[in-house]
Amino acid sequence: MEPVVDKKIDDKNFWKIWFKAVHKSYIPHSHIVQQIFNQLNYNIRDLKILEIGAGTGRDSWLLAKYGAQSYALDYATAKMIKKKFYSNNLPLICIQADGENLPFRDKFFDLVFSQGLIEHFRTPDKLIKEQIRVLKKQGYLIIDAPQTYSLYNIYKTALIHLDNWPMVWERSYSVQDMKKIGNNYALKLVKLTGWDIWPLFIRNLHKTEIRKKNILPKKLRQLIEKQWRRFENTKPAAYTAMNITAIFQKTQA
């Protein structure tokens, strides 16, 4: 079963269009990548890491750059990822496949992660089970999704009810939802964090420029940015930020 999408548009074509038109910036999701580095103690060389629903592949590309055996899997954009990043001669393995039927053997990966994927599945049971299946014992599963109690979710929910949401269907996840995933699939919930805020301009107010001149001194801007990053790495951020990131560990064989 693939993600539920608006029947007016083919889902694979939707993500191809999104890849080309919206993701012009290939800057990695810094919070997600940072959580991966932190959890693995910055020792990712030669570890097998799988990203499901890789989109532009920007996160997998960065992990490959730092020495991981990085796999970018997407059922719509894998060929585009390959075209974009293979010229860098990095060992980024691009695979076009369905996240509910992963073409890997059991217990193959040290870490599996997704960003902006699970929320597009009304019933993500098979998606989660497949990720657990290919994960080694003591390996990590990272799930990132929109957070329920945020301004963004209020805005999104209203547009969905009005049948005016421009994206494919999606839901949001709370701290309790993430805890439930851990309980339902016998996973240890290691850490909860959150990142970003909506509307996005609020997040970058301290970077605002007037006539190409920053309104705040450089040291103050750096201090605000440092404190914001520190807050994003705490559990309270998982309750209030735009997105929630959960790190699980597979403790059973």
Greater model confidence, 158 or 16: 158
CATH 3.40.50.300 fits 11-192+243-250, yes or no: no
Greater model confidence, 36 or 165: 36
Rama region for 186: left / alpha / beta (φ>0; ψ in -120 to 50; rest): left
Query: Is residue 82's pLDDT more than 70?
Result: no
**Tell me, what's the pLDDT at 86?**
54
Pairing of strands 109-115, 135-146: parallel
Q: Where are the alpha helices (DSSP H) in the chain?
A: 11-21, 30-39, 58-65, 78-85, 125-133, 151-161, 175-184, 200-203, 218-232, 235-240
pLDDT, tens digit (0-9, with 9 covering 90-100), for 240-250? 999 999 999 99
Residues 243/194, Cβ–Cβ less than 8 Å: yes
What DSSP character marks residue 87? G
Residues whose CB is less than 8 angstroms from the CB of residue 76 and which lie 6 or more positions away in sequence, other chains included: 11, 12, 13, 14, 15, 16, 19, 96
The identity of residue 149, as a single letter, is Y
**Tell me, what's the pLDDT at 106?**
98
Query: Is residue 213's pLDDT more than 70?
Result: yes
Return the CA Rg of the chain. 18
Q: What is the pTM of this model?
A: 0.85
pLDDT, tens digit (0-9, with 9 covering 90-100), for 136-161? 999 999 999 999 999 999 998 899 88
Residue 184's alpha-carbon distances to 92, 98, 123, 180, in angstroms, are 32, 23, 13, 6
CA distance 245 to 233: 10
Listed residue (240, 239, 237, 253) closest to 34, CA to CA: 237
Q: What is the mean pLDDT of the chain?
A: 85
User: Which of helix, strand or coil describes residue 151?
Assistant: helix
